[in-house]
């Protein structure tokens, strides 16, 4: 801890000024409003003497970092996904880890639908065509896409975000099927537009459009690979708003290129932000840079959730979104 009476925090990435003002009441802050990406060595250096850190899902929090930062007591991420944080290492070093669930579920579900509709109805492909000055005449078979209303929506991963995606299917008169580690209760299924639980294989075979909304862990690495893509309808759309690594991007690129899958909408990628450049050559994929939760209101709520966790820890209270002590 620093010599000041307030504990010290590293705010590892740029954040909203109003949250900085809140945190300044409780902490001495080291800011990074230039939004530099620190190397692991630089991060460890900046964490010397710090009580806590506010970070995003791009910071790797592992045993090497924690061993080098003995005074660190809390790592507070503004993300719901915490695959970047080694919880066992946090436990071992006595460092609290917190995340920011709930506040982004509805906004992320909205965006999942934006991606699905853009990919299935070829919105960005058609816009690129128009912007390139290629529009000469209207034709009956111009950019024919896939029907959305009245079709079958499949959801892999039926947590808060998956259920929010399912609820939105009611407006499109869709049948919803899902697969999840744990089956929902009948009440939860009813609230999720009557979603029915199916085995993964059936989900892949029956869905006209498949949404991926499961958290990443090594157990689900490439859970959608070549064998799974081969089970899907060639007319299907695949959307990933969850995490890179859930999908085998090389296998997906091959399926899209060879017409074994009609379209994809992707907000997350393996090795992002350095995604596989072959995606850029494909017309039948809508690509976005990990922005599913990106509205001002939601991002502010995420950063405030992370701040609440830090303030509680500094007061000796249990942080509301504690993952591990």
Residues labelled as active-site residues: 243, 272, 290
Supply the minimum distance, in Å, between the C-beta of residue 79 and ligand DGY.
3
Structure tokens given for 325? 């002590």
| CB distance 119 to 239 below 8 Å | yes
Size of the site for ligand DGY (CB under 6 A): 6
Query: E strand or H helix at 153, and its extent?
Result: strand 152-156
Supply the minimum distance, in Å, between the C-beta of residue 80 and ligand DGY.
4
Supply the minimum distance, in Å, between the C-beta of residue 287 and ligand DGY.
16
> Out of 61, 75, 104, 214, which residue is the one contacting ligand DGY (CB under 6 A)?
104
Q: What is the dihedral of CA 155, 157, 163, 168, to 10 degrees?
A: -30
- Toward ligand DGY, which CB reaches closer, 51 or 216? 216
Supply the minimum distance, in Å, between the C-beta of residue 63 and ligand DGY.
22
- Toward ligand DGY, which CB reaches closer, 28 or 108? 108
> Out of 40, 49, 81, 145, which residue is the one contacting ligand DGY (CB under 6 A)?
81
* Residues 302, 81: Cα–Cα separation, whole Å: 12
Identify which range of 28-36, 76-84, 120-128, 176-184 contacts ligand DGY by CB under 6 A. 76-84
- Toward ligand DGY, which CB reaches closer, 8 or 99? 99
Give per-residue burial for 291-311: e unless 16+ CB within 10 Å, then b.
ebbebeebbebbbbbbbbbbb
Pairing of strands 285-287, 263-266: parallel
Identify which range of 61-69, 75-83, 195-203, 317-325 contacts ligand DGY by CB under 6 A. 75-83
- Toward ligand DGY, which CB reaches closer, 194 or 289? 289
Binding of residue 80 to ligand DGY (CB under 6 A): yes
Q: Kindly tell me the burial class for residue 143, based on how many C-beta atoms sit within 10 Å of its own C-beta (0-12, 13-18, 19 or more).
A: exposed
Contacts of 284 by beta carbon, 8 Å cutoff, 6+ apart = 119, 122, 125, 256, 262, 263, 264
- Toward ligand DGY, which CB reaches closer, 57 or 76? 57
- Toward ligand DGY, which CB reaches closer, 79 or 238? 79
Supply the minimum distance, in Å, between the C-beta of residue 293 and ligand DGY.
5
* Residues 216, 81: Cα–Cα separation, whole Å: 8
Binding of residue 293 to ligand DGY (CB under 6 A): yes
In angstroms, the Cα distances linking 284 to 76, 114, 246, 257, 265 are 38, 15, 20, 8, 9
**Eight-state DSSP code of residue 185:** P
Q: Please say whether the dihedral angle defined by the alpha carbons of residues 197, 201, 205 and 210, taken in this order, is positive or negative.
A: positive
* Site for ligand DGY, residues 9 to 68, rule: CB under 6 A: 57
Binding of residue 79 to ligand DGY (CB under 6 A): yes
- List residues near ligand DGY by CB under 6 A: 57, 79-81, 104, 293
């Amino acid at each position: 801890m620093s010599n000041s009476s307030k504990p010290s925090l590293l705010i590892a990435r740029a954040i909203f000024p109003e949250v900085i003002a809140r945190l300044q009441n409780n902490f001495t802050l080291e800011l990074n409003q230039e939004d530099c990406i620190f190397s692991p060595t630089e991060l460890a250096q900046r964490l010397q003497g710090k009580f806590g850190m506010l970070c995003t899902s791009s910071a790797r929090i592992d045993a090497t970092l924690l061993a080098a930062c003995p005074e660190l007591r809390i790592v507070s991420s503004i993300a719901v996904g915490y695959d970047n944080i080694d919880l066992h290492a946090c436990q071992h070093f006595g460092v609290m880890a917190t995340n920011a669930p709930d506040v982004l579920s509805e906004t992320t579900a909205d965006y999942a639908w934006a991606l699905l509709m853009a990919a299935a109805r070829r919105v960005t492909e058609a816009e690129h065509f128009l912007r390139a000055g290629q529009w000469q005449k209207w034709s009956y078979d111009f950019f024919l896409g896939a029907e959305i209303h009245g079709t079958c929506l499949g959801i892999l991963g039926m947590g808060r975000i998956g259920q929010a995606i399912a609820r939105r299917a009611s407006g499109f008169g869709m049948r919803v099927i899902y697969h999840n580690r744990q089956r929902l209760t009948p009440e939860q299924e009813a609230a999720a537009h009557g979603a029915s639980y199916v085995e993964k294989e059936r989900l892949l075979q029956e869905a006209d459009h498949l949404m991926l909304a499961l958290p990443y862990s090594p157990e689900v690495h490439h859970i959608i690979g070549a064998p799974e893509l081969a089970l899907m309808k060639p007319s299907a759309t695949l959307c990933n708003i969850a995490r890179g690594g859930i999908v085998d991007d090389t296998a997906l690129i091959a399926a899209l290129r060879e017409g074994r899958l009609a379209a994809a909408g992707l907000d997350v990628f393996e090795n992002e932000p350095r995604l596989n450049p072959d995606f850029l050559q494909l017309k039948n994929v809508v690509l976005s840079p990990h922005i599913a939760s990106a509205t001002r209101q939601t991002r502010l709520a995420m950063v405030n959730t992370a701040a609440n966790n830090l303030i509680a820890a500094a007061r000796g209270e249990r942080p509301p979104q504690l993952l591990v002590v």
